[in-house]
Amino acid sequence: MAILEHLPEERPVIIMTADPAQFDDRPRKARMVELPNMIGAPSRSPALHDQPTPETMHCVPLGVEEMRRHMGVIAQTLCEHDPALFVIDVSAEIAMLSRIMSVPAVTIRMHGDRDDKGHVAGYEACVGMLAPFDERIEQANYTHRLRERTFYTGGLCTTKAPLRGRQEAREKLGLPEDRRITLVIAGGGGSGTPYAPLTVAARAEPDTQWLIAGPVHREGHETDFGNLRELGWIDNLTDYLCAADRVIASAGDNTVHEIARAGKPFLCIPEWRYFDEQQAKARELARLGAATYRETWPASIPEWQRALNETDALDTAILSSLHQDDAALKAAEWLETLATDLWRVS
């Protein structure tokens, strides 16, 4: 939706999605095509389910009615509307479908160990790749021939909430002005931030106020501490970011760029994702000096203290430079130029 806001009004847009409700607040007119939700749908026989997956694909079980209808709606929509471009949210298989149907596709790039045959085939099937991050955190193992076809927007953050000064944000939230505050952000993509390691962190820095935004995962043996407070789901995360002295979070794209936008020291502890997406991004952030990186949550007081001291010593200007206010605009302009150039008849 951030990119959609900047596409020319005269460019018709069709959005294909299994969850149209997430686009209710879209900034401009767009036709919605609902796709059957095929996630977790079963094959119709054990023998079909047990057929091996081709090396050039990732998730293509046989005999799944929902998958056939899902791909059929996509194919029918491409056939009916003959789009100038088909922008694909990461699926290698759909990129190959687009190429087979003679429709130029652009896939959204993500970090991770994606040099397998399936990903490479998907990238090669596209006329270009769109990376919503800064080229400085590109992975060294992403091949040069594919990098040349990638457009880097700079850090794209969808958050538009105003940034406030530290004191103003604390006054607004009713937080103490004279106490160190560490904000822990738990995203919605996993089972929640583990609570037990944070109880150790609270003991490692008893004078620090620890705030946890988002869901936490408890195992039942944790002890609560007075300087450790759960906020739950909040709709004013930016205010808490502005109020914090440091931030601990995973390596999700928008989360990273929200922290960069606020310019806070960042301890990055990635969550499990397919193809080690977050681990790869966290390593690149650490390489650049934009964040401190720990592969897993610190389990002891000394290790927490080392990680926090390293985080406090970061030059926040490096992380801040990874966020670009005009990233969505640049993405839209690149897509429009690509669509125009590909279809120009000289």
Same CATH topology for 4-154+325-342 and 166-320: the answer is yes
> Which class is 4-154+325-342 in CATH?
alpha beta
Spans of all domains in the chain: 4-154+325-342, 166-320
Give residue-wise pLDDT tens across range 157-189. Answer: 999 999 999 999 999 999 999 999 999 998 665
**To which residue do tokens 């408890």 refer?**
218
Of 316, 311, 323, 213, which is closest to residue 268 (Cα–Cα)? 311
CA angle, 61 as apex, 55 and 63 as ends, to 5°? 140
The answer for residues whose C-beta is within 8 angstroms of residue 111's C-beta and 6 or more apart is 133, 137, 139, 251, 277, 278, 280, 281, 284
pLDDT in tens, the chain (346 residues): 999 999 999 999 999 999 999 999 888 889 999 999 999 999 999 999 999 999 999 999 999 999 999 999 999 999 999 999 999 998 999 999 999 999 999 999 999 999 999 999 999 999 999 999 999 999 998 999 999 999 999 999 999 999 999 999 999 999 999 999 999 998 665 567 899 999 999 999 999 999 999 999 898 899 999 999 999 999 999 999 999 999 999 999 999 999 999 999 999 999 999 999 999 999 999 999 999 999 999 999 999 999 999 999 999 999 999 999 999 999 999 999 999 999 999 7
Give residue-wise pLDDT tens across range 294-340. Answer: 999 999 999 999 999 999 999 999 999 999 999 999 999 999 999 99
Of 121, 120, 123, 76, which is closest to residue 101 (Cα–Cα)? 76
Report the pLDDT value the prediction gives residue 255, as an integer from 0 to 100: 95
For 111, other C-beta atoms within 10 Å of its C-beta total: 26
Give residue-wise pLDDT tens across range 52-73. Answer: 999 999 999 999 999 999 999 9
Exposure of 82 by Cβ count < 10 A (0-12 exposed, 13-18 middle, 19+ buried)? exposed
- CATH fold, domain 166-320, is Rossmann fold (3.40.50)
Of 328, 280, 346, which is closest to residue 1 (Cα–Cα)? 328
Average pLDDT of the chain, as a whole number: 95
| CB of 196 closer than 8 Å to CB of 223 | no
Q: Which token pair is 319? A: 């992380």
List beta partners, residue 87.
106
Q: Measured between alpha carbons, how far is 96 from 271 in angstroms, rounded to an integer?
A: 29
**pTM of this structure:** 0.94
How far apart, in Å, are the Cα atoms of 283 and each of 56, 305, 306, 313?
Answer: 27, 20, 18, 18
